[in-house]
Structure formats: C-alpha cells, structure tokens
C-alpha cells in the first residue's frame, strides 16, 4: 500500500506541475492541413487567356492578388468554369513536372501561422470553418499561435514525385516545412516538435520524415499525430477522375470541375494502392471492363485521361506503394462506421454519368483498409511505435469538429506533452 501511495502522490504532483507550467512545458506543434484545407491566392498576368469574356472580368484585379480558394462564387456555373480554368495544372513531359495554367500565378498566404487554416473564407466563417474548432481546443491547452502553435499551409494541388523525378512545388514545401520545424524548436528551447496532420497532410508529413536523416528526426520530432490519413488512397478518388466530384456542394456540376480535378497532381497521389486494395477486389465495374487497383493505368486511359498514365506510372505509383517507417512515435486517429464508396458501377451512359455506388466501412471518404494501412504494414516493425485511436461515427471532415473526436485529439496531445513532466518527476 505504501508503494501505491507513493505512486499516486507522484502522479498527482506530475499533474499539478503540468497544470501550472503548461505554457512553458508544451512542445511546439505544427498543423499540416489536408487537400483544400487552406486558403490559396492567385493573380492573373497578361498571358491569361480566359475561356470567356465573363471570366476575363471576374477576378481580374489590377491591384494584384485575390482569393482563389475558397471563393463562394464557384457555386454558380459561369464562375465554376472560371475557377476550374484557374485551378488547372499542366504536366510538362519535357520538364517531367507540373505547372500552373498560363497566365495564372498562385501563392499560399500566412505560412507559419494558423490563420489560413481556420476558415477557407474569413468572411464566411460559419460555412467555411476548417481547423478553427481544433485550434480552439489547442489554445485551451495553452498553445499560442506563432509561439507554440504553427500552421504549414501549402498549394494542395501539387504533390510529390518518386526519387529521380522533379517536383519543384512539393519539394519546396518540404524544405519550408523542415525550416519551420527547426525554427519552432529553436524558439521553444530546443524542444522537439509535434506534427499534427489531417488527411493528405499526413502523406506529406510521412514523406518529410522519410526524406530526412534519423538523427534529424530524433532531434526535431517528438511525435507525429495523423488524423484521417489516406495512407493507401481511396476508391472515391476513382469516382473523382471518372465523373468529377462536387464534394457534396449543391449546384456544382461535377463535370464542370472534372478536368481540373484530373489535372491535380495530389489527386493522382490519392488513387488506391495496388498493394493494399489487391488484385482481386473490383473497384470500378462497367459493361465492358472491371478495374482493380492494379488496373489504374488502364482505367485512366479508358476514362479519357491518357495524359495521366505516364505521370501515374513513373512519378506517383512508387509513392503510393511506399510506407516506410519513420522511427518516430506515430498516432493515427481515424473515424469509422460511415458508409464509404467501395465499388463503383457504371451503366451504358459511361463515365459522364454518376455511378451506382456500393458502400463499405470507412470515414465516408477513406476506406478502412487505407486508414489502417500503417497497422497492417508496420505491425511487426520493432523500431516503430504506432497507436491507433478509432472514433466510431466520425467522418473524414467532422473529425476536426466533433466533440468526441476533439476530446481524443486533446487527450493525445496532452499525453504527449505530459511525458516529459512525468519522466522528470520520476
């Protein structure tokens, strides 16, 4: 009993120390958003060739930059066409890399701050809130934007490429993210950093860790927490490429944004992993063909996007199949119990029509096999600590707003921060 009393007293003391000194003991934390999870700005140059006179007038700001994402005018068809043209990427086979549409320059505002992650349009906070509830929870823990809490927004249209292939925009982002990590650590007494990602941000974070040395990771990374990460892609991405995806936004014709969505390098990165989804699992079924994840190249050609086959096979597929352990502690927090596209059935109308969908388990966007990919891949790895927290009934996006999910995230970040206090008290 005496030993138990001592243990209880030590725990109580640790909690008091943590409560009283939270602000000074917090590890710096960097938020990495998902696809479409931060503001994106653009300006049009003299090389811009609008698809219509209407598009020339809309957004032509002689003063310079305007918000490209998210602008609510995209909900109306004439604006949707302008938006899609300006968001387009083009793969240059000579450069083996992606670039913006001619006459469109883009930039990501507020790198290093959480400002562009809170709301996609700060004038429409109620309907474009993204990480605002999560940031509020972190602030209640004692985090302060620009001091212990940082944001790492990026141009989410761009992805990364396998070794030997250039990826200028994505690689530059990893360089900036590395510098932010080092600066955040230095400004907080050398404490290693917690990375907290959502969705696609998890893929970028894992690539950052794997592309730096073990000594760098040991010095600068305390923990990596990934929310709703699509480690092995999603079946929904095949729907996006085949028929366009309005993402549930009313009034938007998915065919108007299909070409733009196909052009996105990061969307190609989110195609289902052959190693995870397997050769025998039908993902898309048509009257003339059945496609598994192993048939993605043929699928891209058959839907009328042959220009995507080369980049997919040479630049993207090696990344999709690459889930190397980073040898830093990893926690995956996922949602489940939400019907998620598992097989798409197309009729005689072809890919211009929306398919009949058979659903399976997942978070509404990412299939369970993808959400749990690290557990399957890293289960026997001795040098990798992995924890899975499953929040049933929470979707891919509501994981950032749901009270139960936020409580789990809050608890995990608190636990990570308290480790140093507990060890010092012991």
| pLDDT (tens digit per residue) in 30-63 | 999 999 999 999 999 989 988 877 786 665 554 5
Residue 165 is among the residues annotated as catalytic for this protein: no
Mean local confidence (pLDDT), 404-416 = 98
Distance CA 151, CA 176 (A): 12
Q: Is 199 a catalytic residue?
A: yes
Task: Provide the pLDDT confidence category of residue 20 given band limits of 50, 70 and 90.
Answer: very low
Is 60 exceeded by the pLDDT of residue 424? no
pLDDT value for 52: 78
Q: Are 59 and 74 in contact (CB under 8 A)?
A: no
| Residues above pLDDT 90, as percent of the chain | 82
Domains of the chain (ranges; CATH) run 28-425 (3.40.50.1820)
Catalytic position from the list 167, 199, 228, 266: 199
**Is 255:244 a contact under the CB 8 Å cutoff?**
yes
Full-model pTM: 0.92
Candidates 71, 97, 302, 363; catalytic one: 363
Q: Find the angle CA(138)-CA(147)-CA(405) to the nearest 5 degrees.
A: 15
Percentage of residues of the chain with pLDDT beyond 70: 90
In the structure, what pLDDT confidence band is assigned to residue 3 with cuts at 50, 70 and 90?
very low
Q: Which of 27, 198, 223, 396 is catalytic?
A: 396
- Mark whether 176 is an active-site residue: no
Q: Over the stretch 189-201, which tens digit does the pLDDT of each residue have?
A: 999 999 999 999 9
Range with lowest mean pLDDT among 137-141, 241-245, 252-256: 252-256
- Please answer whether residues 188 and 148 qualify as being in contact, where contact means their C-beta atoms are separated by less than 8 angstroms: yes
Question: Average pLDDT for residues 163-176, to the nearest whole number?
Answer: 97
């Amino acid at each position: 009993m005496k030993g138990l009393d001592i243990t209880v007293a030590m725990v109580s003391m640790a909690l008091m120390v943590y409560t009283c000194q939270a602000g000074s003991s917090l590890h710096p934390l960097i938020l990495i958003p998902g696809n479409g999870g931060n503001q994106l700005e653009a300006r049009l140059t003299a090389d811009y060739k609008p698809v219509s006179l209407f598009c020339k007038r809309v957004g032509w700001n002689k003063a310079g930059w305007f918000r490209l994402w998210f602008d609510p005018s995209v909900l109306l068809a004439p604006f949707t066409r302008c938006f899609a043209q300006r968001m387009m990427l083009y793969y240059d086979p000579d450069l083996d890399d992606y670039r913006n549409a001619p006459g469109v320059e883009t930039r990501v505002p507020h790198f290093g701050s959480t400002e562009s992650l809170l709301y996609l349009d700060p004038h429409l906070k109620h309907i474009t809130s993204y990480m605002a509830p999560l940031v509020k929870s972190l602030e209640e823990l004692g985090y302060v934007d620009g001091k212990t809490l940082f944001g790492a927004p990026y141009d989410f249209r761009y992805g990364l490429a396998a070794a030997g292939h250039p990826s200028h925009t994505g690689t530059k982002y990893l360089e900036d993210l590395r510098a932010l990590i080092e600066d955040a650590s230095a400004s907080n007494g050398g404490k290693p950093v917690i990375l907290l990602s959502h969705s696609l941000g998890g893929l970028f974070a894992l690539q950052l860790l794997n592309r730096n040395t073990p000594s760098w990771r040991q010095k600068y990374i305390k923990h990596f927490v990934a929310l709703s990460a699509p480690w092995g892609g999603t079946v929904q991405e095949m729907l996006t490429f085949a028929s366009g995806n309005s993402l549930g936004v009313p009034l938007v014709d998915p065919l108007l944004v299909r070409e733009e969505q196909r052009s996105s390098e990061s969307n190609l990165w989110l195609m289902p992993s052959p190693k995870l989804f397997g050769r025998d699992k039908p993902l898309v079924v048509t009257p003339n063909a059945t496609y598994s994840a192993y048939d993605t190249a043929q699928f891209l050609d058959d839907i009328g996007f042959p220009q995507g086959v080369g980049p997919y096979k040479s630049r993207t597929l090696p990344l999709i199949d690459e889930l190397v352990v980073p040898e830093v502690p990893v926690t995956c927090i996922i949602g489940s119990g939400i019907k998620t596209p598992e097989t798409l059935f197309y009729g005689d109308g072809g890919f211009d029509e929306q398919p009949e969908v058979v659903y399976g388990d997942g978070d509404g966007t990412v299939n369970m096999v993808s959400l749990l990919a690290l557990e399957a891949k890293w289960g026997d790895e001795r040098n990798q600590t992995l924890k899975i927290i499953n929040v049933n009934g929470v979707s891919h996006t509501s994981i950032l707003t749901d009270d139960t999910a936020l409580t789990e995230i809050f608890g995990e970040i608190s636990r990570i921060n308290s480790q140093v206090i507990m060890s010092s008290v012991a």
